[in-house]
Amino acid sequence: MSALFEPLTLRSLTIPNRIWLSPMCMYSAASEGPETGVATDFHLAHLGSRAAGGAGLVMVEATGVTPEGRISPWDLGLWNERQQEGLARVAALIARHGAVPAIQLAHAGRKAATDKPGRGGAPLTAEQGAWRPVGPSALAFDPEHQVPAELTEAQIAAVVEDFAAAARRALAAGFQVVEVHGAHGYLVHEFLSPVSNHRTDGYGGDFAGRSRLAREVATAVRAVWPADLPVFFRVSATDWLPDAPSWTVEESVLLAKELQAIGVDLVDVSTGGNVPHAKITGEPGYQVPFAERIRRESGLPVNAVGLITDAAQAEAIVAEGRADAVMLGRELLRDPYWPLHAARELGVPRNWPAQYGFAVGPRG
């Protein structure tokens, strides 16, 4: 039997295999008027095809919990009922193809109000509709980005409730897994890291202060999410700044233990994003050791992500206990049917969608 194709049960939810679609921003939501932040037909085609292609869990991209929490004007949102209705169609289609519908809830913090990456990804100008980003401290991500407004404690409390409200809408839309985005230099990660958090109140300073927002958001989301369904948390395990005060894998392990006590069921382990031009070693599976360490030292299930490209590599990661699942990004962009091809390579019987049987034949 293949470890990669063994089901994984978290709480009462059984995910049919360990190959999951990583949340990746598509910058394809409606960007104006009452449809702002609403999923389009593109999202149905994009996410539905990955579910039909055999992914066990399909996670919707970073979805803004507030308008100012979007990375760009073309991000998905989940702060109103119209956005909920659009995402309900997506969740239903994913489930209809046998995958678990999941969604990542996010606030971009100081990295908000940028253009699409395909147009350079630069911070928007006022003429282009830029809004004022917010953050833990009045520190810009880089010289090109705006200096964010430092959040007050009352505003932080509102952000926590925004995450909880978005989680309620995600549940009503039919999602079975919700993930808090605490990585890649966005708001929750900004609070975690001393690089971006220079506060001197209860949300800054030592690990307990810097991790307070992460714990409060996780607690609020867990409180509104059903007890029989899992909550995930994505973390950047390191800022990749070994010679300066920064967020580290050691603190990521501590955070995982805190999250486990709160009721988080899995840590989605990535790295980086909070420091421009960080020196990252981008070799195959380069983030897997971070996932492995967090799993080993915290006891929480984890998934690994980052340059996982072939079936044998993915199988080994799970079979050797380095992670409980793998998330694929670029590979599933290139090939929506990667899981079915991997099954064939590993000798695991899998049924292709009946509509494609003439193309696949007995090899499938």
Q: Is the pLDDT of residue 364 over 60?
A: no
203 in active site: no
Smallest CA-to-CA distance from 69 within 160, 201, 199, 203 is with: 160
Q: Is the pLDDT of residue 354 over 90?
A: no
Domain spans, the chain: 3-350
Residue 166's pLDDT band (cuts 50, 70, 90): very high
Mean pLDDT of the chain: 96
Residue 325's pLDDT band (cuts 50, 70, 90): very high
Residue 361's pLDDT band (cuts 50, 70, 90): low
Catalytic hit among 27, 186, 203, 337: 186
What's the rounded mean pLDDT across residues 186-199?
98
Q: Is the pLDDT of residue 360 over 90?
A: no
pLDDT per residue over 221-279, tens digit each? 999 999 999 999 999 999 999 888 999 999 999 999 999 999 999 999 999 999 998 88
- What does the block give as tokens for 318? 């799970």
pLDDT top residue among 358 and 174? 174
pLDDT per residue over 46-104, tens digit each? 999 999 999 999 999 999 999 999 999 999 999 999 999 999 999 999 999 999 999 99
Residue 355's pLDDT band (cuts 50, 70, 90): confident
pLDDT of residue 1: 85
153-173 and 212-224 helices cross at what angle (nearest 10)?
30
What's the rounded mean pLDDT across residues 114-142?
95
Tell me the backbone φ, ψ of residue 143, rounded to 5 degrees.
-60, -20
Q: Is the pLDDT of residue 287 over 60?
A: yes
CATH classification code of 3-350: 3.20.20.70
Angle at 323 between CA 227 and CA 342, to 5 degrees: 105
The percent of residues in the chain predicted with pLDDT above 90, rounded, is: 93
What's the rounded mean pLDDT across residues 300-304?
98
pLDDT of residue 357: 76
pLDDT per residue over 310-324, tens digit each? 999 999 999 999 999
pTM over 0.85: yes
pLDDT of residue 154: 98
